[in-house]
Amino acid sequence: MPYLDFISDETFKRAVRKVIDVQNKANIKGENEIFANVVDPYSAIFESCFAKISYPEWIKLERSRQSQKSAQNSIGNFHEDILIGADGWEKITKDQPYLNEYENTMLDIRNQKIKIVAEIKNKHNTIKGSSNADMYDTLNAWISNQDEGFTAYLVHIIPDKGKPYDIPYTPAKGGLKRPTNNSIRVIDGRSFYAKVFSLPNALDLIFEKLPEVINDVILETNSDKITKNNNPIVVREVINSDEKFGLSFSDLFRRAYPWDVDPR
């Protein structure tokens, strides 16, 4: 029985496996290079005191923090890999022979049939300040050199202020807003997943199944780098365990996407 009806198991596992591979490499790098840059001893002692942890525990925490920074980009790539599992969607790559100079710039995925192109960002604040106007210009240049009818989206997987939106993208630079163009839009991740898979709760279902898929990929990989005490880490148990502050990973999802959707 497949994990989900709207995406193949192969696509789901491949996307997860890529994140795990990146995380493993980041963890190894963190183990070997934690002191490659000077560590602030003042921050270290304050953090240890406030968290009531020992120096060895702080070192473990710092390694995890450095690894997380290194692996963060892989989460954005994960969403791209999941989204191209939908019918008609593909990554925009430099080796595709029909790309022109505008199509070769920054953008991530597209669907030629329904005429949508998208740049995927993991969080609403990934692009900062005037760089938003630069992104607008890139989206505008892209659709200006396509057949009429294309819509370009900037996708915020984690939305701003926990609200759904699908609105014209009008960032400012030098105090001047870019002109409103209904074909250049910004959208939250949940709404974009719903659009791509024609399923209002597609992102919810991906999240719900993620622990199971992570666990299965780890069991299949059976690598020493992702085992503990010579036994595979059972991610499902970790995900479902009670947290110190009474929050679960599902609660974190609901905080990011607090509005209700009709699952149909």
What is the tens place of the pLDDT at every residue in 162-177?
899 999 999 998 889 9
Is residue 262 classed as helix, strand or coil in its secondary structure? coil
Residue 5 DSSP one-character state: S
| pLDDT above 80: residue 102 | no
Residues 6+ apart with CB under 8 A from 12: 3, 4, 82, 85, 206, 209, 213
Q: 201 CB contacts (<8 Å, ≥6 apart)? A: 194, 261, 262, 263, 264
Mean per-residue pLDDT for 217-241?
Answer: 56
d(CA 107, CA 88): 17
Domain ranges of the chain: 9-71+201-256, 78-197
- Helices 249-256 and 202-221 cross at an angle (nearest 10°) of 140
Taking only the tens place, the pLDDT of each residue in 187-198 is 999 999 999 999
Task: Return the CATH class of domain 78-197.
Answer: alpha beta
Distance CA 142, CA 171 (A): 17
190 CA to centre of own chain: 12
Contact 74, 14 (CB under 8 A): no
Which band of pLDDT confidence, cut at 50, 70 and 90, is reported for residue 244?
very low
Strand ranges in the chain using DSSP code E only, listed in sequence order: 89-91, 109-111, 116-123, 151-158, 166-168, 172-173, 176-177, 184-188, 227-228, 231-232
Separation of alpha carbons 140 and 77, rounded Å: 23
